[in-house]
Amino acid sequence: MLVRRGSLRFRIGLVVGGAMLLFAGIFLVLSSWILTDYFGRVQNNFTREHLTQFATVLNREAKAKLRLVRDYAQWDEAYEYIEGRFPQFVEENFLPEVNTSGQDLVLFYDASKSLRSFICPFNAPRLDEMPEGVNPQELAQSRLLDSQPRAGLIETPTGLMLLAASPITRSNSTGDSPGWIVFGVFLTPARLSEMAQVAGIANSGHPFPKDMGSTARIRSQILTDILGPVTIEFPSVFANPKIDNGIDGSIAFRPLSDKDETLISIKDSATIYLNAMERKNWVLILSAAGIIAIVGIGFIVIDFFVTRPISQLDTAMQKMSSAPAAISRIEDSRNDEIGRLAASANSLLGTALTERRDAIRQRELLASILDSAFEAILAFRTVRDNESRIIDLELAVLNHSAERLFSVSAAEARGKLLSAVFPDLANPAVFDRVRHAIDSHMPITFEQAAGALQPSGWFHFSATPWEEGIVITINDITERKQREQELAKTYAEMDRFNAAMVGREERIIAIKKEVNDLRHKLDLPPAYTVEAYE
């Protein structure tokens, strides 16, 4: 089926299809963003929970180690050993073959926090060699040796070490403490992996590097009863470019001394987020396919129930408009909006035919009235520039009197500019007055000589603005002007005669006065009576 680009069917398809595809695109983008954001937050929460659980497991390990060292510190044998009365205490309890406590390092400090002795089963058979990175003097100055049992972590080249210390007391807790006993155990990768698995983390832990990068990270703090405040930090899945390899999180513990925090790195898997993103892609693909199918079905339904009937109605109305007299009505049997539209078109057709006949009669009557007028009548539309200033007038109507006056044909002059057809009317004396009448919306009348219209002719102009321009009525007043000019000449001649007569009488009166004055000097009576003239 061929669809024209200008047809309603094409436009409905373009608009409806475009709108639905735009909606589909927005829906898919929002859905993708919402799903990514939701499962990213879920993954971040799970990672935070795993790291928190790992810190909790390590705190439990420290608590167990603290209970163990406290139990040993309350042995009377340990008290006797630190007092120097039971020197075989270490050999009987902490040699590799009898080290049932599983310690990698055991240290004894006296009451002045000086190292009394130590044993390192971790270095067996060299038990008297201190592990690399362990400084007994720094431990003595740290918060590890306190009046209460303490635990903490230190970093060594071998790995992290968990230390637990307790003051040595008698079994009945009487008397002052003569020193401290410290247990140390290395948190090997195998042991960290066990803790990670208990915390629900599949990957093992390992010492974390100090350079944590500039990636956006999530931080939170928890407070443990043994290891104190713990800071958990990990990169958000939204800013981690290597999410497939897991999420490198860190757990920072309070240092035993003034050194940097002790960090443990935990690589947690991003299974939840990765699986969700994989399923999200399939969901979006299926959603896009479903939306495209809905768009196609919707377009077919709209075309069948709306566009096709309207197209048929359009074809019928085009036939009606091309030959209105040959078509009496359009099929309007449908009982819906399109049927009512066809009925309305039939009603409009009847009204249009009636109004068309009336309009023809009105135009014929108007043309008859205009052509029967003695005055020349012209109607113009305004022609304006970019600044809405009137620069010319376009002829719309002129009657027979105007055709005779200007010697032009209405068919040829209609639609042409005033400056081209009537150059005399375009001169400033006429055009400026007409333009002022249009701008002020006030009718004007004036008289103007127009030699090009008729030699030495005079015309009376009446200009009345209308919505799109102005109507000008021109009446030939040449004869009246000639009579006025002849009458003016007569009046001028009479004025000159009166002026001459008035001057003669005045000179006669002056002469009579001179005669009377001379006679008076000769003592003669006056010869004239002048008062009658004065």
CA separation for the pair 111, 113 (Å, rounded): 5
Residues 172 and 259 occupy one common structural domain: yes
Q: What is the mean pLDDT of residues 292-302?
A: 77
Summary mean pLDDT of the chain: 79
Residues 429 and 528 occupy one common structural domain: no
CA separation for the pair 166, 144 (Å, rounded): 9
> Where residue 533 falls among pLDDT bands split at 50, 70, 90?
very low
* 178-210: b (≥16 Cβ within 10 Å) or e: bbbbbbbbbbeeebbbebbeebebebbbbbbee
Please report where in the chains the tokens 């002022």 appear, as a residue.
Answer: 436
Residues 491 and 471 occupy one common structural domain: no
What does the pLDDT look like over 75-129, one tens digit per residue?
A: 999 999 998 889 888 888 888 888 777 889 999 999 999 999 999 988 877 888 8
Residue 337 maps to a domain: no
CA separation for the pair 416, 426 (Å, rounded): 13
User: What percent of the chain stands above pLDDT 90?
Assistant: 15
Residue 77 maps to a domain: yes
Domain count, the chain: 3
User: What percent of the chain stands above pLDDT 70?
Assistant: 84
Residues 471 and 523 occupy one common structural domain: no
pLDDT score for 238: 78
More confident residue, 356 or 167: 167
pLDDT score for 1: 43
Under DSSP, the state recorded for 390 is E
More confident residue, 452 or 390: 390
The residue out of 272, 305, 324 marking a domain boundary is 272
The residue out of 272, 294, 325 marking a domain boundary is 272
> Where residue 204 falls among pLDDT bands split at 50, 70, 90?
very low
Residues 528 and 437 occupy one common structural domain: no
Q: What is the mean pLDDT of residues 351-373?
A: 72
Enumerate the H helices of 330-448 as residue ranges: 337-372, 400-406, 410-413, 418-421, 428-440
Residues 421 and 491 occupy one common structural domain: no
Residues 501 and 470 occupy one common structural domain: no
Residues 470 and 494 occupy one common structural domain: no
Residues 240 and 166 occupy one common structural domain: yes
Q: What is the mean pLDDT of residues 351-377?
A: 73
What does the pLDDT look like over 502-529, one tens digit per residue?
A: 666 777 777 778 778 877 777 778 877 7
Q: What is the mean pLDDT of residues 352-357?
A: 71
The residue out of 221, 248, 272 marking a domain boundary is 272
How many C-beta atoms lie closer than 10 Å to residue 496's C-beta?
10
Residues 491 and 453 occupy one common structural domain: no
Residue 9 maps to a domain: no
Which tokens sit at 344? 């309305």
Residues 94 and 142 occupy one common structural domain: yes
pLDDT score for 327: 56
CA separation for the pair 264, 4 (Å, rounded): 70
Residue 344 maps to a domain: no
More confident residue, 11 or 273: 273
**CATH code: domain of residue 464:** 3.30.450.20
**CA triple 245-246-250, angle to 5 deg:** 130
Instruction: State yes or no: pLDDT of 141 exceeds 80.
Output: yes
Residues 450 and 527 occupy one common structural domain: no
> Where residue 242 falls among pLDDT bands split at 50, 70, 90?
low
Q: What is the mean pLDDT of residues 268-288?
A: 80
Instruction: State yes or no: pLDDT of 418 exceeds 60.
Output: yes
How many C-beta atoms lie closer than 10 Å to residue 28's C-beta?
16
> Where residue 249 falls among pLDDT bands split at 50, 70, 90?
confident
CB 191 within 8 A of CB 210: no
Residue 277 maps to a domain: no
pLDDT score for 8: 61
Q: Which domain holds residue 501?
A: 487-534
Residue 358 maps to a domain: no
pLDDT score for 2: 43
Residue 460 maps to a domain: yes
Q: What is the mean pLDDT of residues 403-419?
A: 81
Residue 378 maps to a domain: yes
pLDDT score for 337: 66
Instruction: State yes or no: pLDDT of 434 exceeds 70.
Output: yes
> Where residue 74 falls among pLDDT bands split at 50, 70, 90?
very high
CA separation for the pair 79, 171 (Å, rounded): 9
Q: What is the mean pLDDT of residues 459-486?
A: 82
pLDDT score for 439: 86
